[in-house]
Amino acid sequence: MAIHGVTPVLNVSDVPKSFAWFEALGWERGFSWNRGGVIDDAADRDEHGVADFGSVCAGDKATIFLCLDGQGSRGTVMPKHPGDDCTDGVWMSWWLDSVESLEAMHAKATELGYIVTMPPRDEPWGVREFHLRHPDGHMFRVSAGLGEGG
């Protein structure tokens, strides 16, 4: 068996707002969809209404599907302390090419007022990472390798 990729699906409360959240961090829209089908130019809405499904992409390396009120659950529990693993929602790792990119992403997220639940820190498994919470409670471990091979 040859798997060509894995695409997570996030349950979101508002697809256009989720598009904007990701786009502010450098992601791009892939497509948008509603009861009328594909929406031209991955727009937020068309004559059939607001997008209720769509995707965001980071080049050809990463894609995330966004589904309005379905396909999983949203997070409801806020972290009690930095790095809290007891929060719900989907957790996933988001890999950047360098520590410098990670620091720039952290600065951008902070500037935008996004919820950073753990500031950047070096981990014993050879990465620097910070935790970033999507408005619907999904958690991203934003990471970059440290040193050679990272």
Domain boundaries, the chain: 9-68, 91-145
pTM of the model: 0.91
Alpha-carbon distance of 112 to 114, in angstroms, equals 6
pLDDT tens for each residue of 36-89: 999 999 999 999 999 999 999 998 889 999 999 999 888 887 777 777 777 788
Q: How far apart are the first and last CA of the chain?
A: 28
Q: How many CB atoms lie within 10 A of CB 75?
A: 20
Residue carrying structure tokens 């999507």? 134
Asked if the domains at 9-68 and 91-145 fall in one CATH topology, the answer is no
Residues 5, 59: contact at Cβ < 8 Å?
Answer: no
CA 106/CA 99 separation, integer angstroms? 10
**What's the sign of the alpha-carbon dihedral 81, 84, 87, 93?**
positive
Q: Does pLDDT of 150 surpass 50?
A: no
CATH number of the domain located at residue range(s) 91-145 in this protein: 3.10.180.10
pLDDT in tens, 88-147: 888 999 999 999 999 999 999 999 999 999 999 999 999 999 999 999 999 999 999 997
Does domain 9-68 fall under CATH 3.30.1900? My reply is yes
Query: What pLDDT is recorded for position 76?
Result: 84
